[in-house]
Amino acid sequence: MAKNKIVGKNKAPKSNKATGRDYSYDKEYQSSPSRVKYRSELNKEARKRKIYGKRHTNGVDLSHTKSGKMVLEGRSTNRARNGRNGKTTKK
């Protein structure tokens, strides 16, 4: 059987030039104090529930609700909620 020549060769583009996208806005947005706090709250809750680092295998995210609680919710459902017509994006 022939050896697989693709093994170990990551073909995914890594640079802005390769992807044709500028990530400077994303970098600035994600490093803002509000986003850092938001992510730290999610990580803190995940550690408390003992699911930190395991969520990607379960296909679930922690979702903020209107009442301020956090609940487990399917990844696609949580990330697809965009908040149209002035409605909140929270569950």
Chain segment 19-74, per-residue pLDDT in tens: 778 888 999 999 999 999 999 999 999 999 988 888 777 888 888 888 889 999 88
pLDDT score at 8:
66
Chain centroid, CA 79 distance in Å: 8
Query: Within 13 A of 23's CA, how many CA atoms are on the CB side?
Result: 9
Where would I find the beta strands (DSSP E) of the chain? 60-64, 70-74
- Tell whether 74 is covered by a domain: yes
Q: What are the tokens at 4? A: 């697989």
Range of the domain at 56: 23-80
| Overall domain count for the chain | 1
3-state helix, strand, coil in the chain (%, to 5): 40, 10, 50
Residue 61, domain member (yes or no): yes
